[in-house]
A and B are shown apart, each in its own frame.
Chain A
Amino acid sequence: MQQIIDRRLAGKNKSIGNRERFLRRHKEQIREAVRRAVEGRGIRDIAQGEDIHIPRRDISEPVFGHGQGGKREMVHPGNKDFVRGDRIERPKGGQGGGGGQASDSGGGEDDFVFHLSKEEFMQVFFDDLALPNLIRTTLADTPEYKTHRAGFSSDGTPNNLHVVRSMRGAIGRRIALGSESRRELHRLEDLLTELRAQPASAERLHEIEQLETDIAALRARIDRIPYLDPIDLRYRSRVRTPVPTAKAVMFCVMDVSGSMDEARKDLAKRFFILLYLFLTRHYEKIDIVFIRHHTQAQEVDEHDFFHATETGGTVVSSALVLMEEIIRARYPRNEWNVYGAQASDGDNWHDDSPRCRQLLEHGILPLCRYFAYIQVVDQEQNLWHEYASLAEESDTFAMRKASEVDQIYPVFRDLFRKEGAAK
């Protein structure tokens, strides 16, 4: 007999390896596209796929072929009114024949477009940020589930069989199914003893015999009730529930004074994205508060935060004051985990820096789980010095200078390391 083979369950995604090679080959274009996507997207939308465009000539595989020109003869179907010797105008593009052949080279300049999956997108994004592998997996994984018992169910795998429950069910079923017959049996047995007590006669004997066969039949019926039936089986039921998570709020604090140009803002954005991704891993509900400041601080939406430009001097403490106010007003400590991320070019009104330190040390850090500061220029000013002395004392405060995107990660190193150790 020739066998029909069901391959449907086997070997899906055979082309994954080929796809990886394709992505590898076009790494530069893809990185460029991811960079553009990160600029254009909101922090919350970061973990999504992206369409990648690659110019068709970059992926062509050349082979020897004929070009235009020379003499050739082509046969076509569907002659309507030509006769031998007719002359026809050459169709545009010089392709021979009735025009249908023209499409081979005509539409060739379109881009080759394909979709980068969410995982692949994040992979490229992390590559840029120089994230260690352990961190990548913690960030990119789907949230963990915990299984716990949820009563019993009538189907399951043998290892979850609950023997006591099953046997209890079996007894109940046996009693229920046999009760009618047993009652009848008792009645007949009583009748039998009654008859036996009476004096014997041919008729009696016949009745007794009749009763005895009935009793035997009933006993047989009761015996036929199965001791254990598949419907008796009970299994421990386990359900998967997401690990209970709490709520977190993330404060993005950024200096928007004139010295923060687009490149620096982009750097800051990646810094915020990284913290956001870390938080999505751990908390089901995350609020993001955007605070921008120059001499005054202001709570804004994400678009204004990254795109609106204002100029003016810089008073960092204004933002910290606002942040503390918001925490006290809206995010009570026992319900919310507070994370802060501040990006600045280090410029500050010089009398203000000690005040910032004080605000952080006494006001904000006690309320925060973690506070990260990133300075997007190399030059160290008084704010940097104040913060540096604070960083030595506090372990929930981290700071770093970053002029390239791959320098961002170390700011979070402690945060992630704790995470790794806890696991």
Chain B
Amino acid sequence: MSDTFNRRHVGQAATPDEYGGRRPRPPLRVPLPPTDRPAQTLPGPSDWTFDLIDQYHTVIRATAQRFSLDTYPNQLEIITAEQMMDAYASVGMPVNYRHWSYGKEFISTEKNYRRGQMGLAYEIVINSNPCISYLMEENTMAMQALVIAHAAYGHNSFFKGNYLFRMWTDAGSIVDYLVYAKNYVAACEERHGVDAVELLLDSCHALMNYGVDRYRRPGKLSLTQELERAKDREAYAQQQVNEIWRTLPPKSGKDAAEKEQARFPADPQENLLYFIEKNAPLLEPWQREIVRIVRKIAQYFYPQRQTQVMNEGWATFWHHHLLNTMYDDGYLEDGIMIEWLKSHTNVVFQPPVDHPAYSGMNPYALGFAMYSDIKRICEAPTDEDRYWFPDIAGRDWLETLDHAMRNFKDESFIGQYLSPRVMRNFRLFSIVDDETDPTLEVSAIHDEAGYRSLREAMSRQYDLGSREPNIQVWSVNLRGDRSLMLRHTQHNERPLHDNAYEVLKHVARLWGFPVHLESVGSLGNVSRRWTVDPSTA
């Protein structure tokens, strides 16, 4: 059952028929016409009731269908603030295995919430089928409407449509898998002791970000295919035989001996947890299974980490568009509108860089601005837009947006669609921080000369590959002390954080033999080296 969750053994490449037969509906080119205007607006008291939520939901669903938003079936659940904190603690999932770090998360969330230092999210939505959205009991009716439009239609359609989610997650089985994981971990705790399991989970969590596949693995070849290929290789080698070179005596000594020794692994591996699960010499079968569980869950969250701007922007764009359409169609009262618009405004607020509340780009603001701008470019293109986006200017917006949502991740989405107008509106500028330079340099601003490099810089900023250090399994000393060599390839000479040593201890605990980590600069020089020997540590 664990295999159905990310079906990476299924095939080599994604075919349209894959993903459990979820073939996307072709997008509508224009929205369907509205139905007859209702006699009166939906009631808009501040307190919600089940009946009211149901009425609103019906209208929101009908409106979403006009724009052909393709979603999983929705399951709305009302929960209390305390349950919301529970959900926070277990990384937003309805069930999860037990671990102290979730307890820590819960305690600090609860403390901050009690002291009023933070508000809780209005909703949590789970990429599952049916798609579960949690609505908080404390929300007013207007907020519930906002949340339903945002989560149950915005996020939900994104989960179902985006290629990363389609490739790496199977919404139908995630909840079942988590139940299995929880029971398995609990059974292991019973059999092997809470401490042993806790240590193992600690180590796995430390490597969680390095437990994902970025690309599909090739499927296993059948014996005939294997033989076929061997034959091809042989034929090719035969062609290359050069009679002259054959007469030279073979080189003697070190070189040859080194060549003899086969490298293992043959190529560097980027999925550390996978490598450990399959190759760590000392792990027990149950330990391998737990490594696998952590790896699978990391893989499940991998698309979410890569589509923050797209996902939040999409959901924000749609709650904005759906609720406004409902208002135009005569379903919503002014009071409801003003209330949700106020929190919408808070959500898409982007504090400027010198603002005390500034903490980087707000993914809601950026994503919302980008999708709205794509719609504008489609509907009312300027000359600038025609120059920058000749392929979408003046096209049908619904189709264009659908394409933009399905086929990109943050990095490529920004690289493709960040328009000069959005850059001007945000007044974006980029700063180069070079260690060798005593001052920072403004490398580009929102002007004609800077648009392209600004867009590139922004796109790189959302590239997980450059945000996280590139660490791979380099080699294993098979004939010696069985030590594992990891290699960090520096990007722009950026060094590793000092706690790399702490993480390396976790790697050593999993591997069971000495572990080395080398940090390699752009010139191929090893700038720093760490070693942990589990027998002494």
Cβ–Cβ contact A14 & B101, under 8 A: no
Cβ–Cβ contact A71 & B433, under 8 A: yes
Contact of B500 among A5, A64, A75, A89 (CB under 8 A): A64
Q: Is B468 an interface residue (CB 8 A)?
A: yes
For residue B442, which residues in chain A have a CB less than 8 angstroms away from its CB? 82-88
- Among B22-30, B299-307, B378-386, B491-499, the one that faces the other chain is B491-499
Cβ–Cβ contact A8 & B503, under 8 A: no
> What DSSP secondary structure best describes chain B's contact surface?
mixed
Quick one: CB contact mask for B483-523 with A, threshold 8 Å, 1 for yes? 00000101111111111101100100000000000000000
Quick one: CB contact mask for A27-68 with B, threshold 8 Å, 1 for yes? 000000000000000000000000000000001111111111
For residue B412, which residues in chain A have a CB less than 8 angstroms away from its CB? none
For residue B89, which residues in chain A have a CB less than 8 angstroms away from its CB? 14-15, 18
Cβ–Cβ contact B432 & A73, under 8 A: yes
Total number of A residues with any Cβ neighbor in B under 8 Å = 63
Cβ–Cβ contact B432 & A61, under 8 A: no
Cβ–Cβ contact B461 & A69, under 8 A: no
For residue B57, which residues in chain A have a CB less than 8 angstroms away from its CB? 2, 4
Cβ–Cβ contact A71 & B434, under 8 A: yes
| Complex Cα gap A3–B397 (Å) | 32
For residue A61, which residues in chain B have a CB less than 8 angstroms away from its CB? 101, 202, 205-206
Cβ–Cβ contact A21 & B86, under 8 A: no
Asked, given contacts A7-B79, A8-B78, whether A82 binds B498 with beta carbons under 8 Å apart, the answer is: no
Contact of A77 among B73, B77, B352 (CB under 8 A): B352
Cβ–Cβ contact A65 & B443, under 8 A: no
* Shortest distance from the beta carbon of B517 to any chain A beta carbon, whole Å: 9
Q: Is B333 an interface residue (CB 8 A)?
A: no
Cβ–Cβ contact A22 & B100, under 8 A: yes
Q: Is A134 an interface residue (CB 8 A)?
A: no
* Shortest distance from the beta carbon of B65 to any chain A beta carbon, whole Å: 13
* Shortest distance from the beta carbon of A179 to any chain B beta carbon, whole Å: 45
Cβ–Cβ contact B102 & A3, under 8 A: no
Cβ–Cβ contact B445 & A83, under 8 A: yes
For residue A127, which residues in chain B have a CB less than 8 angstroms away from its CB? none
For residue A423, which residues in chain B have a CB less than 8 angstroms away from its CB? none
- Among A107-115, A313-321, A377-385, A398-406, the one that faces the other chain is A107-115
* Shortest distance from the beta carbon of A293 to any chain B beta carbon, whole Å: 46
* Shortest distance from the beta carbon of A112 to any chain B beta carbon, whole Å: 7
For residue B454, which residues in chain A have a CB less than 8 angstroms away from its CB? 75
Q: Which residues 185-201 of A sit at the B interface, judged by CB distance below 8 A?
A: none
Contact of B79 among A8, A76, A84, A86 (CB under 8 A): A8
For residue B75, which residues in chain A have a CB less than 8 angstroms away from its CB? 2-3, 5
- Among A98-106, A231-239, A282-290, A329-337, the one that faces the other chain is A98-106
Q: Is B108 an interface residue (CB 8 A)?
A: yes
Cβ–Cβ contact B103 & A78, under 8 A: no
For residue B61, which residues in chain A have a CB less than 8 angstroms away from its CB? 2
Asked, given contacts A64-B497, A75-B457, whether A89 binds B439 with beta carbons under 8 Å apart, the answer is: yes
* Shortest distance from the beta carbon of B469 to any chain A beta carbon, whole Å: 5
Cβ–Cβ contact A84 & B447, under 8 A: yes
For residue A71, which residues in chain B have a CB less than 8 angstroms away from its CB? 432-436, 492-494
Contact of A84 among B198, B428, B444 (CB under 8 A): B444
Total number of B residues with any Cβ neighbor in A under 8 Å = 98
For residue B111, which residues in chain A have a CB less than 8 angstroms away from its CB? 113-115
Q: Is B441 an interface residue (CB 8 A)?
A: yes
Cβ–Cβ contact A80 & B354, under 8 A: yes
Cβ–Cβ contact B503 & A77, under 8 A: no
Cβ–Cβ contact B450 & A84, under 8 A: yes
Cβ–Cβ contact A14 & B427, under 8 A: no
Q: Is A13 an interface residue (CB 8 A)?
A: yes
Cβ–Cβ contact B468 & A6, under 8 A: no
Cβ–Cβ contact A6 & B78, under 8 A: yes
Asked, given contacts A61-B206, A63-B209, whether A100 binds B493 with beta carbons under 8 Å apart, the answer is: no
Cβ–Cβ contact A22 & B103, under 8 A: yes
Quick one: CB contact mask for B446-490 with A, threshold 8 Å, 1 for yes? 110110001001101100000011010000000000000000101
Find the residue from A68, A74, A89 having the highest chain B CB count within 10 A: A74
| Complex Cα gap A79–B358 (Å) | 13
Quick one: CB contact mask for B86-102 with A, threshold 8 Å, 1 for yes? 10011000000011111
Cβ–Cβ contact A4 & B441, under 8 A: no
Contact of B73 among A2, A14, A19 (CB under 8 A): A2
| Complex Cα gap A8–B86 (Å) | 12
Cβ–Cβ contact B102 & A76, under 8 A: no
| Complex Cα gap A64–B468 (Å) | 8
* Shortest distance from the beta carbon of A39 to any chain B beta carbon, whole Å: 25
Cβ–Cβ contact A25 & B198, under 8 A: yes
Cβ–Cβ contact B103 & A15, under 8 A: yes
Cβ–Cβ contact B99 & A18, under 8 A: yes
For residue B458, which residues in chain A have a CB less than 8 angstroms away from its CB? 75
Contact of B503 among A64, A83, A99 (CB under 8 A): A64
Q: Is A307 an interface residue (CB 8 A)?
A: no
For residue A5, which residues in chain B have a CB less than 8 angstroms away from its CB? 75-78
Q: Which residue of B lies closest to A6 (CB)?
A: B78
For residue A68, which residues in chain B have a CB less than 8 angstroms away from its CB? 435, 495
Cβ–Cβ contact A18 & B358, under 8 A: no
Q: Is B54 an interface residue (CB 8 A)?
A: yes
Could you list 7 examples of A-B contacts with CB < 8 Å?
A: A22-B100, A22-B107, A23-B103, A60-B499, A61-B101, A75-B457, A103-B359
Task: Beyond the given A72-B432, A75-B430, A77-B352, please list 7 additional residue pairs across the A-B interface where CB-CB is below 8 A.
Answer: A8-B83, A21-B100, A21-B194, A64-B210, A83-B445, A86-B442, A112-B108
Interface residues of B (CB under 8 A from A): 50, 53-54, 57, 61, 73-80, 82-83, 85-86, 89-90, 98-108, 111, 134, 137, 194, 198, 202, 205-210, 350-355, 358-361, 426-436, 438-447, 449-450, 454, 457-458, 460-461, 468-469, 471, 488, 490-500, 502-503, 506
Interface residues of A (CB under 8 A from B): 2-8, 11-15, 17-25, 59-80, 82-90, 96-101, 103, 112-115
Which 6 pairs of residues, A with B, have the shortest CB-CB distance? A78-B352, A70-B494, A22-B103, A100-B358, A18-B103, A98-B353
